[in-house]
Chains A and B, each alone.
Chain A
Amino acid sequence: MASYKENRTAQIRLVSSHNEVYEPCDDSFALVDALLADRTNLLEHCPTMCMEIGCGSGYVITSLALILGRERGGVNYIATDINPNAVKVTRETLDAHGVDAELILTDIASGLENRLAGLVDVMVVNPPYVPTPEDEVGAEGIISSWAGGENGRRVIDRILPVADHLLSEKGWLYMVTLTANNPSEICLQMRKKGYASKIIIQRSTEEESLHIIKFWRDFDTTVDEVTDQSLIGFLGSLLAQIPLFSLWRGSNSNDNC
């Protein structure tokens, strides 16, 4: 319901923008919808430290702060981005909504890894997940917001060990993936590190599907909670062979949506 959402999440009209910064799109909305869907759990969880890797426009971290923040003080938010314009825009978006986060211009969490290890209770990531040529990964400007290299996994595969390192015992990670990223294989990799996982939201178009996955530490996990794994695996390998024309990312224009 629109009015319910308005108070709980960042409002598009208040989100700042810049032509080199990724504007909120279906994937951003899906991630925030996942956080909203999990709101009760998040509040009960009482996180102290929350972090976003790749804050872009600030839409997600702002929404997280709004979802959590009004009801309790005492939560610290940190957001990072590799794009100097993104952190600038994120600050504007946070200010426009009357919420606050510590911002750091850095590659993933570089500089934080030693001291922040084991302290992050909630981490949210909408990574560059689009399969692209390798040389676009980390390219300057807006390209770095979507370019994911082979299978769109290059940056995701760098983020996951960092997340594992920074997450607390009770830490939760919410991440956006495409079917092309092979989410069930990601979940398997994370399971080996002791994480259970669940797809909270799945949104499909004719060509691709977005999966918002939640990870949490559970050393007793024996059953992968990703439902119908065999079907996802089959679809994953089928879709991975189809050239990806993302509806919501225009690689040659800024008409993201």
Chain B
Amino acid sequence: MRLLTHNMLSSNIKGVEKGFPLRIEAEKVVEKPVEMNADFLRKMFEKVEWKAFVEASRSMGYAQLPEEVDSGMLESDEFLSRFHHALLELHLEEGALVCPETGRRFPVNKGIPNMLLHEDEV
């Protein structure tokens, strides 16, 4: 699971109002390089919730992202490269995503988050 996906996930438990972001418990993180596409990054920049992204990145062991950003930074290769790395090259293979409101753990196994709810959570 990449951090891009993490940034798109929120707790789906019935009644939860503040289900984003899910807190990451990282047991196994893997880095897989992938080619950078600046256009893609610029588009994603508009949609990523930055604070959650920085926090999540730290949980995965990468702390090289600026705390605050503005779109001017997209001109910087250095910034793009760090953004790219955190967004697309870090994979949570084993661990969990934790609902910020209820503490419920959604396991992540072999890079796949399990968001299936139990009957009483639907």
Q: Chain A interface (Cβ within 8 Å of chain B)?
A: 48, 73-76, 78, 82, 84, 87-88, 91, 100, 102-107, 110-116, 119
Contacts and interface: CB of A to CB of B under 8 A. Distances in A.
A84 B81 CA distance: 34
Nearest to A110: B12
A78 to B, nearest CB: 7
A84 B9 contact: no
Contacts of A48: 40, 43-44
Interface string B1-29: 11011011111100000011000000000
Contact of A116 (B8, B19, B37): B8
Given A74-B37, A110-B12, A114-B19, A105 B117 contact: no
A88 B34 CA distance: 22
A74 B4 CA distance: 13
B74 interface: no
A119 B110 contact: no
A91 B110 contact: yes
A247 B58 CA distance: 52
B95 interface: no
Contacts of B11: 111
Contacts of B100: none
B100 to A, nearest CB: 13
Contacts of A111: 9-12, 106, 113, 115
B112 A104 contact: yes
A106 B115 contact: yes
20 contacts: A48-B44, A73-B35, A74-B43, A75-B40, A78-B5, A87-B112, A88-B110, A91-B110, A91-B112, A103-B111, A104-B5, A104-B112, A106-B12, A106-B116, A107-B115, A110-B115, A111-B11, A114-B10, A114-B20, A119-B47
B77 interface: no
Contacts of B115: 104-107, 110-111
B9 A112 contact: yes
Contacts of B35: 73
B114 interface: yes
B67 interface: no
Contacts of A73: 35, 37, 40
A119 B43 CA distance: 10
B70 interface: no
Contact of A115 (B7, B106, B114, B116): B7
